[in-house]
Structure 1
Amino acid sequence: AFLDAPDEAVGSATPLNGPRITYVSWAASCSRSDHTARELGGQSHMVYAGSLGSRPSTILFKYAAQWIRTARILRQERPDIVFVMTPPLFAALPAFWYAWRRGKRVVLDAHTAAFLHPRWRSWQWLQQRLCRMAATTLVHNDHIGGLIRDGGGDVTLVPDVPIVFRHTQTFSRPPGFAVAVVCSFNDDEPLPAILDAARRMPDASFFLTGDPRHFPSRLADQVPSNVTMTGFLSTEAYGGLLAGADVILTLTTRDHTMSRGGYEAIYQGTPVIVSDWPILRAAFPDGAVHVDNTPDGIVQGLERMKAGLEEYRAGAARLRDAKRRRWSDVRSRILARIESVTEHARSNGGR
């Protein structure tokens, strides 16, 4: 009763022949989790008691409710491999408990925040131990991969995964240049600079995603009239926005952070404007403009994109094709690793 996420799983309609896979994320939504599960023939579950909040007074109750729901899912599905998104790293504990009791294995999908966000830095001893116990840990970039390898864990580099929206709602776009700004209102998003840039481009229309409950109240009077707060969108509406906008703007002030909104857009053939970090230059070499996180830099990037929109769209299509080819190899490596550790577990009596 405490859980806000629906019980229905997201996954492959035609499961692969091989180990049963269940993917658990203690989050309200995560396209990386959903689409990784789909690509591997598994089921993805968002397990999230958002109504309990994340305050110190409620976080233990929230995690307890999510632990109970996770345990119930694993008892029902009895997977051979459990994928778990971190952070929060505590989401992995019921998965490892299940795996230990039943002779199964766990794969971690460690997002950058699991290692670099201040909230989780004091828990690195546990994160590293879990990575050593895991069959492998999926990471977005070599920097995080190096931290895990140094700690003795196995790593599989997965910068992104194909994003496929089965159904989308048509985006009712206004005349003129339409910019979708993908936000979660996290502390690494330069919202003041984005709003200032929008104010300087009155002929463009900006569509700012994200749960308005998390929008900083101090910025409420700084939202210009050409910015529409979309609220947290359904999957269908979000897919329509990504496909229908002229460009996707998604920025971060934190280095070594992959832009999920960026690669979600590229897989729809929509060009992107992302922050000028080395990891994002490598991830988006085509169909993209890289900017510093200042109002001037954002405006210049938007104007550059607007002036060469057709070429950037062609670049996004080329990059989408390249990413799909790379994913085919990455997927094969993940499945080979799963098969290897599963066979090893069988030969050792299930443990």
Structure 2
Amino acid sequence: MDTAKNQRILTLVWAPSETRTANYARQLNSPLYFIHYLLYKRPWIAPFKYLLQAAKTFQVLFKNRPRVVYVTNPPVFAPLCVLVYCKLTGAQFVMDTHPPSLYADRWRWSVPLQRFVSRFAMMNVTDQERFKALFESWGAKALVLENPPKTPQFNAVKNEEHADRFKVAVVNTFAVDEPLDIILEAAKKLPDAHFYITGDKGLAKPGVIENAPDNVSFTGYLRGDDYWNLLNNARAVMVLTTYPYSLLGGAQDSVSLHVPIILSDQPVLREYFTSGTVFVENTTEGIVQGVRHMIENEEQLKREVTELRQIHRDKWEHNFQQLLTLIEAVK
């Protein structure tokens, strides 16, 4: 028997990379396919690349013929393709939905499609109780799985640059919900701190990088060791959002490294990050006060974030076992 073409489970995501899905694929001992063509996050070419990605998805699925497919949403067309495959073969699928697809303006048009697809999934995975309740109100099955605290494996390199300043790593992607402008204004008022801001510099608005204060460095988009070393060398990690229900992966990565966090004061973040965290208003003065509070209470916050990591590790292992049991029951 050709076992390569009779895999029990297969994981796929329509993106060039995606940390959450990659981690779950490892936990599930599943082959992982990143299916993506053309430019990333460019809405005007989406119809063209979605056609290419749909064709590739069907090729991968019918070649490997998995009994269970773990698929990430958005975009909703990825699980739609998986649904078609499952209807034709009798396979089943798990849809892992990232919450912004349920409330962000750019995905609002797709919510009816998500509701439709979710009812056919053997399980819908989301990272918050409020969205689990939403799926269940649609008549779909749902399970809460937050991102688990990671144990990142990387070649640690000490960065002695700006050793006399309080280093803040800002996990940023130049997305619409990230208030970068107020971070730059706050940096001007915090000369004793240095801010390392991530993200593809090609996505920055004109003049943002050129006019940034001297205590700000734009790192570009970081992966692997470069990303983990940035966070590991920081004395605090900052991740801000204007979305009320976005559970920020960069903040969870910081917990994995026992580095305290500065976060926007949003409902879901308060629920998850119950210690080791400074919450700030999305204002210049709010950030300034938050960084100063972090500097003054650094040691206590470091102890707290270590305890927080273990709490979420225990919770995640319990919930993940429920998903694993469900998948293993598929014949």
TM over 0.5: yes
Q: Structure 2: where are the runs of 5+ without partners? A: 1-6
Query: What is the aligned-residue identity percentage?
Result: 31
Residues 114 and 162 of structure 1: CA distance in aligned 2, closer, same or farther (over 3 Å): same
Query: Is 2:70–2:95's contact at 8 Å kept on the other side of the alignment?
Result: yes
Q: 1:303 aligned to 2:292?
A: yes
Residues 288 and 50 of structure 1: CA distance in aligned 2, closer, same or farther (over 3 Å): farther
Aligned residues: 323
Q: 1:23 aligned to 2:5?
A: no
Q: 1:143 aligned to 2:125?
A: no
Residues 262 and 50 of structure 1: CA distance in aligned 2, closer, same or farther (over 3 Å): farther
Mean CA deviation greater in 61-70 or 292-301: 61-70
Q: 1:121 aligned to 2:141?
A: no
Residues 336 and 316 of structure 1: CA distance in aligned 2, closer, same or farther (over 3 Å): same
Q: 1:191 aligned to 2:180?
A: yes
- The equivalent residue for 1:80 is 67
- The equivalent residue for 1:16 is none
Quote the Cα distance in structure 2 between the aligned partners of 1:220 and 1:29. Answer: 25
Secondary structure (helix, strand or coil) at the match of 2:86 reads: helix
Offset at 1:53?
6.3
Query: Is 2:149–2:255's contact at 8 Å kept on the other side of the alignment?
Result: no
Matches within 5 A, 1:52-201: 54-56=42-44, 58-174=45-161, 175=163, 176-201=165-190
TM-score if structure 1 supplies the norm length? 0.87
- The equivalent residue for 2:251 is 262
Query: Is 1:209–1:231's contact at 8 Å kept on the other side of the alignment?
Result: yes
**Equivalent AA in structure 2 for residue 31 of structure 1:** T
Secondary structure (helix, strand or coil) at the match of 2:153 reads: coil
Q: 1:207 aligned to 2:196?
A: yes
Secondary structure (helix, strand or coil) at the match of 1:184 reads: coil
Secondary structure (helix, strand or coil) at the match of 1:219 reads: coil
Secondary structure (helix, strand or coil) at the match of 1:273 reads: strand
Tell me which stretches of 4 or more aligned residues in structure 1 moved more than 6 Å.
Answer: none
Quote the Cα distance in structure 2 between the aligned partners of 1:112 and 1:180. Answer: 24
- The equivalent residue for 1:293 is 282
Offset at 1:210?
0.8
Query: Is 2:275–2:308's contact at 8 Å kept on the other side of the alignment?
Result: yes
Matches within 5 A, 1:209-228: 209-217=198-206, 219-228=208-217
Offset at 1:83?
1.2
Quote the Cα distance in structure 2 between the aligned partners of 1:238 and 1:147. Answer: 34
Quote the Cα distance in structure 2 between the aligned partners of 1:304 and 1:339. Answer: 48
Quote the Cα distance in structure 1 between the aligned partners of 2:130 and 2:206. Answer: 34
Quote the Cα distance in structure 2 between the aligned partners of 1:282 and 1:155. Answer: 19
Offset at 1:197?
1.1
- The equivalent residue for 2:4 is none
Residues 122 and 55 of structure 1: CA distance in aligned 2, closer, same or farther (over 3 Å): closer
Query: Is 1:35–1:162's contact at 8 Å kept on the other side of the alignment?
Result: no
Query: Is 1:271–1:288's contact at 8 Å kept on the other side of the alignment?
Result: yes
**Equivalent AA in structure 2 for residue 336 of structure 1:** T
Offset at 1:21?
2.6
Secondary structure (helix, strand or coil) at the match of 2:124 reads: strand
Q: CA RMSD in A?
A: 1.8
Residues 296 and 93 of structure 1: CA distance in aligned 2, closer, same or farther (over 3 Å): same
Mean CA deviation greater in 21-30 or 129-138: 21-30
Query: Is 1:242–1:265's contact at 8 Å kept on the other side of the alignment?
Result: yes
**Equivalent AA in structure 2 for residue 102 of structure 1:** T
Offset at 1:251?
0.7
**Equivalent AA in structure 2 for residue 276 of structure 1:** D
**Equivalent AA in structure 1 for residue 278 of structure 2:** V
**Equivalent AA in structure 1 for residue 96 of structure 2:** D
Query: Is 1:273–1:302's contact at 8 Å kept on the other side of the alignment?
Result: yes
Mean CA deviation greater in 35-44 or 200-209: 35-44
Quote the Cα distance in structure 2 between the aligned partners of 1:295 and 1:148. Answer: 37
Offset at 1:221?
4.4
Quote the Cα distance in structure 2 between the aligned partners of 1:316 and 1:268. Answer: 9
Q: Structure 1: where are the runs of 5+ without partners? A: 1-18, 347-351
Quote the Cα distance in structure 2 between the aligned partners of 1:282 and 1:154. Answer: 23
Offset at 1:35?
0.8
Offset at 1:206?
0.8
Quote the Cα distance in structure 1 between the aligned partners of 2:77 and 2:181. Answer: 33
Q: 1:49 aligned to 2:24?
A: no
1:172-199 deviation line (CA, Å, top 9, x unaligned):
2421211100011111111111111112
Query: Is 1:273–1:290's contact at 8 Å kept on the other side of the alignment?
Result: yes
